[in-house]
Amino acid sequence: MIEYIIGKVIDLNQQQIVIENNKQGFVYNLIKPINIEKNKLENLKLFTCEITNEFINECYACENKEIRDWFKSLLQIKTVGPKTALLILNILELDELKTIVRNNDLDSLLKIKGVGSFTAKIIISELNKIYFAKKMTLRQEKVITSLIKLGFKSKDIYQALQEIDSNCDLETMTKLTLERVSNNAITRL
């Protein structure tokens, strides 16, 4: 796999770029649209990502290595394909996405058209494991799912769970989380 490419910009639009390097033209789908100053047209550096499976064989590129890395991390999630990853990274700035993941803000992720609750939960869970070393136990996942079904906000549930011992039994964990989430809802009124 190619980590990055440096070359001359031959063609550019909002979705794709063609880079010439060693007398060869390389086509990349853009992870984020880029605006290039004229002095950078000859020597542009792009960080790349190749997706190859039985359905697609495409190359993606971005000027920012960290954005490219988050794109690759999103693609590691089974329910997220290139279109969903591009959608998320084009609607949200990277710092916004980091905040959403760090704060377990499921509701903000659900505002993106095309991202359902199942996918949003997996995105937050997996990216937390990768970037923030947060892992949910099976009991915590059950509590989250149950309380979301009851209409509580995921952000409040995740915050309450952080205050509760992850080793307690499911019934106790649910009860304590429900108490904290309810108290927080009452104090906001």
Residue in the structure block whose two tokens are 């359902």: 116
What is the rounded CA–CA span in Å between residue 63 and residue 67? 8
Q: For residue 189, is pLDDT > 60? A: no
Q: For residue 154, is pLDDT > 90? A: no
Q: Are residues 160 and 109 in the same domain?
A: no
Q: How would residue 164 be classed by pLDDT, with cut points 50, 70 and 90? A: confident
Q: Are residues 9 and 35 in the same domain?
A: yes
Q: What CATH number does the domain containing 78 carry? A: 1.10.150.20
Adjacent-strand bridge partners of 29: 16, 60
- Give the pTM: 0.75
Nearest-5° angle of CA 129, CA 133, CA 138? 60
What is the rounded CA–CA span in Å between residue 82 and residue 59? 10
Q: For residue 103, is pLDDT > 80? A: yes
Q: Are residues 48 and 87 in the same domain?
A: no
Q: Which domain holds residue 40?
A: 1-63
Q: How would residue 141 be classed by pLDDT, with cut points 50, 70 and 90? A: confident
At residue 145, the pLDDT reads 84
> How many domains, the chain?
3
Q: Are residues 70 and 92 in the same domain?
A: yes
**pLDDT digits 0-9 by tens, 40-50:** 788 899 999 99
Q: What CATH number does the domain containing 41 carry? A: 2.40.50.140
Let me know: does 147 contact 184? Beta carbons within 8 Å. no
Check residue 114 and report its DSSP letter: T
As a whole number, the mean pLDDT across the chain is 89
At residue 71, the pLDDT reads 97
Pinpoint the alpha helices (H) of 26-153.
Answer: 65-75, 82-91, 94-102, 106-110, 117-127, 138-149
**What share of the chain in percent tops pLDDT 70?**
95
**pLDDT digits 0-9 by tens, 49-95:** 999 888 889 999 999 999 999 999 999 999 999 999 999 999 999 99
Q: Are residues 125 and 142 in the same domain?
A: no
What is the rounded CA–CA span in Å between residue 103 and residue 160? 11
Last residue of a domain, one of 63, 87, 110: 63
Q: Are residues 156 and 175 in the same domain?
A: yes
Distance between first and last Cα of the chain: 54
Strand, coil or helix: 6: strand
At residue 188, the pLDDT reads 61
Q: Are residues 43 and 75 in the same domain?
A: no
Among 36, 33, 34, 61, which residue's Cα sits nearest to residue 46?
A: 61
Last residue of a domain, one of 18, 48, 63: 63
At residue 187, the pLDDT reads 65
